[in-house]
Amino acid sequence: MWRLIDIAGDGYYFHVKNKNICIEKDGKKIESVAFADINSIIVHGKQNSYSEEFLACCASYSIPFTICDEKHMPLGMLLPWYQHTESSIRQEKQINAKLPKKKQVWQKIIKAKVLNQAKLLQLTDNYEESKVLEVMSSHILSGDSTNIEAQAARTYFPALFGTSFIRQDEEEGINALLNYGYTIARSMVARAVVGTGLCPSISIFHSNRVNPFALCDDLVEPIRPFIDKTVQELSKEKEYICLSPEVKKQLISIITCPVRIFNMDYELTKAIEIYVYSYYRFISGERSDIEYPKFRGE
């Protein structure tokens, strides 16, 4: 069973003992987990320390190590430099992908995102809004030149979280849960990207030159509705919800939630690996389409 390690607070010491990650605070052991069982590590805090061996093991075991700010937004991520025997070949194909092909990819990614949003609205009994998004998805052009993504968001978020909800980077409430969940999704995508032998900074759409994980931010878009589903379920339980340890546990469980891809059920982590590989095969000309994780027909 994959584990996601989340540590919030200051004064922790991360090191290695017997091929396990060992986390201590004030000289006392807090956690000990085999590196082979860890999907990703997320830290929110300051004045923590890390041994060189710990960082090397994260890279060796292909574990994304993410440091977040107080809003649970990622500040940086450690990833292995090379993971695949064909890294140079695959990254060359990334670089050589022509603009029309990239625009096709972005069209497919946004259509996948909007269709997943529509399915989630259907699952939450927002049938009218779901139909609106389905219609929108059929009008997405190459490169999403008419910005259907933003138009869909204006229907989607109020339907899912209430008409007063505004999506922004806040430290509290629903937005804090979304920020945290999206960080988890981003780390899963980053792991799949480097595992496929791709360069995470060679983007499709997010072309910010200072973003070393631009491709991850592109490919994560259809994954976001899976996070939204869990946050919506949690927000229904209480009038006000905060990012408590219990809530974090439920968000972390997303990594093993069942989804559908290629007409088969997989845990989300595995489905993301399949999705990223299908993206590579599309830009390399080996496939005519991209398969992406979908909600099961529940």
The tens digit of pLDDT for each residue in 88-104 reads 888 899 989 999 999 99
Residue 26 lies in a domain: yes
Report which of 50, 58, 64, 66 is spatially closest to residue 19, judged by C-alpha positions: 58
Instruction: Give the structural domain span for 51.
Output: 3-63
Residue 187 lies in a domain: yes
Confidence of residue 133 (pLDDT cuts 50, 70, 90): very high
Quick one: 176 and 215 in the same domain? yes
Interval 60-67 mean pLDDT? 88
What's the domain count of the chain? 2
Residue 70 lies in a domain: no
pLDDT of residue 12: 94
Crossing angle of helices 127-137 and 99-123, rounded to 10°: 170
- On the 0-12 / 13-18 / 19+ scale of CB atoms within 10 A, 164 is exposed
Quick one: 135 and 275 in the same domain? yes
Name the maximum alpha-carbon separation found in the chain.
Answer: 59
Tokens matching residue 209: 């030159």
Kindly report, residue by residue over 216-237, the tens digit of the pLDDT.
999 999 999 999 999 999 988 7
Report which of 43, 1, 37, 2 is spatially closest to residue 25, judged by C-alpha positions: 43
Inter-CA distances, 28 with 32, 64, 189, 243, Å? 11, 25, 33, 25
Quick one: 21 and 115 in the same domain? no
